[in-house]
Structure 1
Amino acid sequence: MTDFQDSKKPDPFLEEGRLLFAGDCSFIKGAVKLDQLPDMAGVEIAFAGRSNVGKSSLVNGLTGRKTLAKVSNTPGRTQELNFFRIGSKLTLVDMPGYGFASAPEAKVRAWTKLVFEYLRGRPTLARVYVLIDGRHGLKTTDLPVLDMLDKAAVSYQIVLTKADKLKPGEHEERLAGVQDAIKKRPAAFPDVIFTSSEKGDGLPELKAAIARLIAERS
């Protein structure tokens, strides 16, 4: 466990999480319309975040596959709902980034509508992991997404990215600030996870959280 994670007893789901993401992993399909969504199966989780927050890097880091999700320096490159099958129990969805995107406004609105409709109408969706740049914490562009998730009663958990970019001692301050900001939000899961796709920090804890979620839904 990294020095910026809370000191706790060993999580029994750490090994289950490791095994979950060590198995088969494959791309199912990309969807730009609701009628293109794949059939629902098992537990489904989704990753949301501002453009260029590191969603694709995190998906690649979780699965240990460098090119499973495309990584780009161009914000807004992910323009569809990308579905991945992880083992036999989990479907992972990489959603289009919100906020700034290098695309026409009409297309950004279309992506946003697709995402919101997906979140409101997917019974197998167990949790949304909302990625926040750990260097900056929650920003005003994140709040409408959290508001929407609260209103739709979709469970979500904050995952702070780019932990390796912070100075020593800044992690606890950032964690405390985010936890305070979400404590009164009805659909927010209270635990916040700090991660670094580059260094691998926090990924075992995130895998364990996902494995625990699957066990709870089984």
Structure 2
Amino acid sequence: MTDLTEDEKKQDELYREEGRLLFAGEATFMKGAVAIDGLPPIETVEIAFAGRSNVGKSSLVNALTGRKTLAKVSNTPGRTQELNFFRIGTRLTMVDMPGYGFAEAPEAKVRAWTRLVLDYLRGRTNLGRVYVLIDSRHGVKNTDTPVLDLLDKTAVSYQVVLTKWDQVKKGDRETRLDEVRAALARRPAAYPEIIVTSSKEGEGLADLKAAIVRLIAERA
């Protein structure tokens, strides 16, 4: 990351404080949608979390909001089978998308999830960014590539968030970051900055909150 000017540092501090306050406030589950006609009304800036099954999407939603059970967490891959909407304060809606890459899911169900996600990405005008969660222990895998291709094709801005960072040895971290940067280098819709997180340890959560608040400000 490049060095920040004094003004940029002050702005970053403001975003971090705004992010802390936003996610410390009210957070509620709105609804789960299994079809495009079941989506809630467009009212706020929306962000979505995408990722392979068991990458830690629900855990991250809970960690961001400081609530243990806002999003359902399961050790069973593929449990999230709908678009789950959460209202954060009055300025933000978060969406937990169905996990992908779970080979044992019925083919018909996978097709339905894929169609729902594609329709959502193409038609949700208030969608500010998709945060693509990547398990930092493994990096970008073949199962991630079709989703990144889809986001590039639909011109939906996305940013990679590495999860479970606490489980990567310190000596391997820079190599893993370099690998992910290389995988994203020529992708037109990818936001260049990678955020590393640990839902368990809390690492990187302030960075992610600040990035989300910055996005809200940019779309105001």
Give the shorter-chain TM-score range: over 0.9
- Which residue number corresponds to residue 187 of structure 1? 189
Q: Deviations for 1:97-149, whole angstroms, at most 9, x for unmatched residues?
A: 00015432211211111011101110000000000000010001101100010
State TM-score, norm by structure 2. 0.94
Asked if structure 2 preserves the Cα contact closer than 8 Å seen for 1:44 and 1:91, the reply is yes
The alignment of Structure 1 onto Structure 2 pairs a total of residues equal to 213
- Which residue number corresponds to residue 159 of structure 1? 161
3-state secondary structure, aligned to 1:169: helix
Q: CA deviation at 1:169?
A: 2.1
- Which residue number corresponds to residue 51 of structure 1? 53
Distance 1:7 1:175 in 2: 16
Pick from 111, 115, 118 the counterpart of residue 117 of structure 2.
115
Pick from 199, 206, 215 the counterpart of residue 197 of structure 1.
199
State TM-score, norm by structure 1. 0.95
Q: Aligned pair in 2 of structure 1 residues 72, 101: CA closer, same or farther (>3 Å)?
A: farther
- Which residue number corresponds to residue 63 of structure 2? 61
- Structure 1 residue runs without a partner (length 5+): 1-5
Distance 2:149 2:81 in 1: 22
Aligned residue runs from structure 1 range 77-88, under 5 A = 77-88=79-90
Q: Aligned pair in 2 of structure 1 residues 188, 138: CA closer, same or farther (>3 Å)?
A: same
Structure (1/2) with the larger helix percentage: 2
Give aligned-pair identity as a percent.
Answer: 71
Q: Deviations for 1:145-184, whole angstroms, at most 9, x for unmatched residues?
A: 0001001000000000000111112221111111121121
Q: CA deviation at 1:7?
A: 8.2
Query: Where in structure 1 do 4 or more consecutive aligned residues deviate above 2 Å?
Result: 6-12
Q: Aligned pair in 2 of structure 1 residues 96, 212: CA closer, same or farther (>3 Å)?
A: same
Provide the aligned C-alpha RMSD in A: 1.2
- Structure 2 residue runs without a partner (length 5+): none
Instruction: Pick which of 9-18 and 21-30 moved more.
Output: 9-18
- Which residue number corresponds to residue 106 of structure 1? 108
- Which residue number corresponds to residue 3 of structure 1? none
Asked if structure 2 preserves the Cα contact closer than 8 Å seen for 1:75 and 1:101, the reply is no
Distance 1:7 1:165 in 2: 26
Asked if structure 2 preserves the Cα contact closer than 8 Å seen for 1:96 and 1:111, the reply is yes
